[in-house]
Chain A
């Protein structure tokens, strides 16, 4: 294992002939929150999808010291790599609790007996979900849906949690709640790779940051230093949030 949980080494990802991510190198150490910020279409979602195995990647992809590039998605999930996708991908016609339990599907396969205690933990973290345990996921509000997506991911007991824009489309007060929860997760030892357009909040909560522009890493550094950087301040920390029409 050593010092690095996940390492991307010159990873490139293409859609057909079009390359959307060009040799990106990045790593996350245990216990860290690492954020990736960048404008619309920079390739952030593409990068996470390839790391999860939904898209093919070229280059090096190591998780817990193993080369996972050819692994299927389910094997990565079983190893502790879990993604909360940009579109949430919840099971809309199922209840909240079923969605959560399905998040532990790989653990059922491994006959893990601690699933119910994880469910209690998730309910403690998100009391709102407990209130709505039988409600259909498709009828939840945007914020509740995001909590459910997070909760479902946590049910898998991730070693590394990857989040694609957890604040997308949420009211500021809920955004604050979500980031508060992320900070809490870090306290509990969950490592996080966080993709965000809300650069200010992301840099505040994270230890290290990468700026992705047109599929390449434009800048990277300690989050507090990045937040001071002229270019970052000009492009991403302006008064108006970039990307919102």
Chain B
């Protein structure tokens, strides 16, 4: 392997790694705040890529129907709750808050999809379709059992993963899609071809990571989420309710998933069931960070990307095996070095 090949592999690895890093951060965030090991994060990625692909072909993406279905289910659930608590006075407002945005997005997608909008508008629409699914999913699936054990929450997450993969097949069919690159061409630096696509991925991921950093470090909502992850009782006592924290967290996770999907669309062909493998690589990164450390999780995800890239050069048939085998020494190392905190509550 000469320097050029090594550099190209590194570029590929970092490109994938940057996308895995977004996934890893989402997984750490969701686990910290809600204790859910969020297996279906990968499905948000696949849905993001497939939604953008559908929009590019001028079709109304299938995820619009999923969004409407989830909104309807949440509306039914909320009405039932209003009925039981006898708070019908609040019902119209609740419905408006719940359904206004998803309905507007669905209408917009239906009418705008055939118009072949510019790419940035399609990306924006993709975000608007995928992101509201996060809080809806929390409301429908996790909020009712928020106090359950980590294991129960994990089982629920796995179940949702299967449901989403099934719905993905139904909504998008079995064919894969690939979206055109954001930037064609590239330039030479140090005798290595740097592709504009890779630069886009680096720039967007870095921008998102900086945005997350500022959100958690500077804003009161970000701090409230960190507080919830640190001390659930304390967070309730300052009036940051678990429902609020859960919905906000899942909103962020879905948005990060959509971003990962939009970024990975031009790199690989995405199928309805591609999310799981992609998500698993983000998960390896998150595990390296012990599901608590954001920076280590992000670095871990970059490492996964690099390892995958070089493995595909040396032993391409084994690349997934090599990546996932990494988890064993990591777990060993973590179990030896982490001091075990006693579970509070």
Which residues of A pack against B, CB within 8 Å?
A: 52, 54, 70, 72-74, 77-78, 82-83, 85, 87, 89-94, 98, 101-103, 105-106, 108-109, 152, 156
Contact = CB atoms under 8 A, between A and B. Distances in A.
A234 B238 CA distance: 39
Given A73-B241, A94-B226, A105 B236 contact: no
Given A89-B233, A91-B226, A94-B227, A108 B220 contact: yes
A125 to B, nearest CB: 19
Contacts of B114: none
B231 A74 contact: no
Given A102-B227, A156-B239, A90 B220 contact: no
A113 to B, nearest CB: 14
B230 A105 contact: no
Interface residues of B, number: 17
Contacts of B231: 89-92
Nearest to B219: A108
B108 to A, nearest CB: 29
Residue with the greatest number of chain B CB neighbours at <10 A, chosen from A87, A89, A108: A89
Contact of A54 (B236, B239, B241): B236
Contacts of A54: 233, 236
A244 B42 CA distance: 54
Given A90-B231, A91-B234, A106 B239 contact: yes
The DSSP consensus for interface residues of chain B is: helix
Contact of A74 (B85, B226, B227, B240): B240
13 contacts: A52-B237, A73-B239, A89-B233, A89-B234, A91-B226, A92-B230, A92-B231, A93-B230, A94-B223, A102-B227, A102-B240, A103-B238, A109-B239
A72 B239 CA distance: 9
Given A73-B239, A94-B226, 19 more contacts: A70-B85, A73-B237, A74-B239, A74-B240, A74-B244, A77-B237, A78-B239, A87-B233, A89-B233, A89-B237, A90-B231, A91-B226, A91-B227, A92-B231, A93-B230, A94-B227, A101-B220, A103-B238, A105-B238
Nearest to A82: B237
B128 interface: no
A105 B226 contact: no
Contacts of B223: 94, 98, 101-102
Nearest to A93: B230
Residue with the greatest number of chain A CB neighbours at <10 A, chosen from B234, B236, B240: B234
Interface in B194-209: none
Contacts of A52: 237
Contacts of A156: 238-239
Nearest to B227: A91
A52 B238 CA distance: 11
Interface in B232-278: 233-234, 236-241, 244
Contacts of A93: 226, 230
B131 to A, nearest CB: 21
A83 B237 contact: yes
Nearest to A76: B239
Residue with the greatest number of chain A CB neighbours at <10 A, chosen from B238, B240, B241: B238
